[in-house]
Chain A
Amino acid sequence: MTTSSTQTDTTAAARDHARSQAGAITDSMPVLPASAWPTPPAGIDADRLTWAETVPGGRYTSKVLARGTRIRLRDIDGSACANLLLYRADAPHERLNIADTVKVPWQAYLSVGHPLLSDQGRVLATVVADTSGHHDAFCGTTSLATNTAKYGDGSAHSGAPAGRELLTLAGAKHGLTARDLPPVLTLFHGVRVKPDGALVSTGNAGAGRELELLIHLPVIVLIANTAHPLDPEPTFNTTALEILAWAAPADLESLPNNDPEYLRAALNTEDAWNAATPVNETQLGRDVK
């Protein structure tokens, strides 16, 4: 009989086996602490990183992010598709509203300066950088039925998980149910509208493309990385999504949009934040004097 590393016939051996797995590095995992991420964005000190994770195709993740966080999503290999939802962390009933997100800025196609608006007239996030330009606010995510029809299966642990299945799981971990899933934004897979309303997939923009969001209020972020509903590929081939986030509160001081609708949204956002944030002692002392 040979001794192998998988000897698990006693509690001690099983424990040793389990513990021996720690420290493994794969290409689909979170890196903790985030500051251990080997390649922080240019000009960003690794110590500022608060989230570093690679989400493989067909999987999901979530995180609560602070106001003033900057988050970068990267389509590593050119076939990622991030299905995104945002909820205000301190009031999850306030959430991304796709209709307002396209109607209020008078613009359906996302680019730098585009706000992701809540249903309460506030900016949850602003697009602050984008080398992709291939995003979609119309078609939302996929369902068990559509993926089963297209790929043969769409359940969460199948080879072609539907976005709705994954987002239901992601939301559940924050106490949210399927009824709390509004229409989603999809990043890195473009759709364009013809004059007659026809929707045409424009696919991904290529490997290495990135989109960055600045977070204006504390948010729960739900992300499923799964094929777009109009993905023309007959097989499920969604590839990995890289997520990095870092503290960048100073970025809230210089926002990339001067449209009147945006400025009022930013004003509403600051108003809500200021009203809910206790005056700190320094501020109080200054006021008293």
Chain B
Amino acid sequence: MTTAVDTPALVPGTVILDETVGARGPWSTIVRAGDILTIVDLHGNQAVDSLFYAADDHGLRYSAAATVAAQRNLFLTTGSVLRADDGTALMTLVGDEVGNHDTVGGACSQESNTLRYGHHTKHQHACVENFLIEGAKWGLGKRDLVSNINFFMNVPVDADGTLGIVDGLSAPGKRLALRAEIDTLVLVSNCPQINNPCNGFDPTPVRMIVTRPEEQR
């Protein structure tokens, strides 16, 4: 008899998909309107870099600026609506066991890592590489990569404007739930960063569960 702790979806329903994204790995799926994506931070302190596109129009994509301007707050938590450039609601954060999620820090890239840590990091894994690899499967290219959400990542802004990635607020098993407002392509890089505290300097897997609430059936 297994003793593994099951981590259920945050919003109950019929499970449509249940997958684990390996440490450092890319992942994508289309979440249909009304379905719920639960992201589980299995081991805690993992950053999940995420981008969102209307499934039938990739030109309609997540906009950090439109999202934070509409809610007049930088942080995402329950009730936050993820908006496209034109204001269209893509997904709504309907559950959050962490407190806030980052909209500012964007993705690590090989190139930006050379600025942040030194040129010795040039050939390390980076999120932009994951986004390019996974995005290509959907016909997305470099121009389609914009400022992304970092779920479970903590980026405070001090009074003088100093900002940075600090220790996360998450813990093993913490979850968040996103309801798709329209059919939404979700593109994820399970952040491979090993030079900052966004995943405790040790990338770990996360779990993706898509559920269809009973009333949707």
Chain A residues engaging chain B, CB cutoff 8 angstroms: 93, 97-100, 102-104, 106-109, 117, 119-122, 138-141, 143-146, 164, 178-184, 193, 195-199, 229-230, 261, 264-265, 268
CA–CA, A282 and B100, complex, Å: 58
Residues 50-90 of B contacting A (Cβ, < 8 Å): 58-59, 63-66, 68-70, 72-75, 85-88
Question: In this complex, what residue of A is CB-closest to B110?
Answer: A121
Residues in B whose Cβ lies below 8 Å from that of A145: 86-88
A199 to B71, CA, bound (A): 9
Q: Is B31 an interface residue (CB 8 A)?
A: no
Of A98, A103, A197, which is within 8 A of B100 by CB? A197
Contact between B164 and A106, CB atoms less than 8 A apart? yes
Query: Are B115 and A121 within 8 A (Cβ)?
Result: yes
Asked if A182 and B69 sit within 8 Å, CB to CB, the answer is no
What total count of A-B pairs have CB within 8 Å?
139
- Determine if A143 and B162 form an interchain contact, defined as CB atoms under 8 angstroms apart: no
| Residue in B86, B144, B163 whose beta carbon sits within 8 Å of that of A102 in the complex | B163
Q: Are A140 and B66 in contact (CB under 8 A)?
A: yes
Q: How far is the CA of A263 from the CA of B113 in the complex (A)?
A: 13
Provide the residues of chain A in CB contact with B65, threshold 8 Å.
138-141, 183-184, 229
In the complex, per-residue mask of B35-57: 1 if CB is within 8 Å of any chain A CB, else 0: 00000000000000000000000
Which of B75, B114, B142, B146 interacts with A183 by CB under 8 Å? B146
Assess whether A108 is in contact with B157, with CB atoms less than 8 Å apart.
Answer: yes
Tell me the bound Cα distance from A117 to B109 in angstroms.
Answer: 13
A181–B147 Cα distance when bound, in Å, is 11
Complex interface: chain A residues within 8 A of B148 (CB): 99
Question: Given A106-B164, A178-B59, A143 and B104 touching (CB < 8 A)?
Answer: no
Cα–Cα, bound, A135→B25 (Å): 36
Known: A103-B163, A197-B75. 20 other contacts (CB 8 A): A99-B104, A102-B104, A103-B106, A106-B164, A107-B162, A119-B112, A138-B65, A139-B65, A140-B63, A145-B86, A145-B87, A146-B66, A164-B85, A179-B58, A182-B147, A183-B64, A195-B159, A199-B73, A199-B74, A261-B116
- As a 0/1 sequence over residues 14 to 38 of chain B, the CB contacts with chain A under 8 angstroms (1 = contact) are 0000000000000000000000000
Cβ contact of A117, chosen from B70, B110, B115, B119, cutoff 8 A: B115
Which residues of the partner chain B approach A141 to less than 8 Å between Cβ atoms?
Answer: 65
Q: Select which of B58, B74, B87, B118 is within 8 A of A193 by beta carbon.
A: B74
Contact A264 B118 (CB under 8 A): yes
Give complex CA distance A145, B145 in Å: 23
Q: Does B107 contact A (CB under 8 A)?
A: yes
Q: Is the CB of B68 within 8 A of A119?
A: no
Is B6 interfacial (CB-CB < 8 Å)? no
Q: Give CA–CA (A162, B10) in the complex, Å.
A: 38
Residue numbers in B under 8 Å from A104 (CB-CB): 112, 115-116
Q: How far is the CA of A182 from the CA of B68 in the complex (A)?
A: 15
Contact A108 B163 (CB under 8 A): yes
